Structure 1
């Protein structure tokens, strides 16, 4: 079955928004196809607002396309595998600061490809599984 990329992306954004709401964050979802930020989440206790970018794939261990030139240090990146319908999504959470400081680790051989398709590899993301505390570190 072929899936619509826009629906896949929106699914990931809504799943992340729901998880953040469950954790007592106020969430604003931005709309549009060419946006730099997908969500804003405000911590109810500290009133700090976080910028969030969500990258979503249907299954693992595929790689996530994310050009290094577009990474922002102050943004939190959620890499989401939707998984089959009978299984919950998986969340891998990394700060922009981490991605920029460890480009070779996260991107491997795709770093600086001539065709411009830089991808974050699944392997390095494993240590960031369900790392919800990353929001507090930005």
Structure 2
């Protein structure tokens, strides 16, 4: 079923929050309109990770997402999580966890619509369901 983009975005955020919560982390969703961050993640309130979620819906594997017009300030505690939510409801969503450093250096920020594209199969494998990139910052076991 084709969903409107707002619902797809919300579904992606809830999917990411669920996956991080089930790994023992506390997740706080930000208010609509918060600039550059969709959620804050912590295990004890001392350490915090910021997450920006980008979701898309389609019939195939786009492997590219719009990332906004402003280049992020790279940080070891800032991640983008890209969600492919399929029109075919029987398919489980795909989730790619990507450090902000990778986004900052690999996107053409001069483009009319800056896109992040996964071109390298090794990186795709690393990022696909790569929750450990976040959980390892908190010394939690998967």
What TM-score, normalized by structure 1, do the two folds share?
0.79
Paired residue secondary structure (1:14) = helix
How many angstroms apart in 2 are the aligned matches of 1:137 and 1:76?
12
* Off by >4 Å, runs of 4+ in structure 1: none
1:6 positional shift: 1.0
CA 28–15 in structure 1, closer or farther in 2 if over 3 Å, else same = same
Q: Is the 8 A contact 2:69 2:113 kept in 1?
A: no
Q: Is the 8 A contact 1:38 1:54 kept in 2?
A: yes
Structure 1 residue runs without a partner (length 5+): none
What TM-score, normalized by structure 2, do the two folds share?
0.77
Give the structure 1 partner of residue 101 of structure 2. Answer: 97
Structure 2 residue runs without a partner (length 5+): none
Deviations 1:84-129 (A, max 9, x none): 321221111111112223x1xxx4xx5522xx20111143461311
Q: Is the 8 A contact 1:68 1:100 kept in 2?
A: no
Larger relative helix fraction? 1
Equivalenced residue count is 129
Q: Is the 8 A contact 1:9 1:56 kept in 2?
A: yes
1:1-138 equivalences in 2 (<5 Å): 2-33=2-33, 35-44=35-44, 47-59=46-58, 60-62=60-62, 63-67=64-68, 69-74=70-75, 75-83=78-86, 84-101=88-105, 103=106, 107=107, 112-113=110-111, 116-124=112-120, 126-127=124-125, 128-135=127-134, 136=136
Q: CA RMSD in A?
A: 2.4
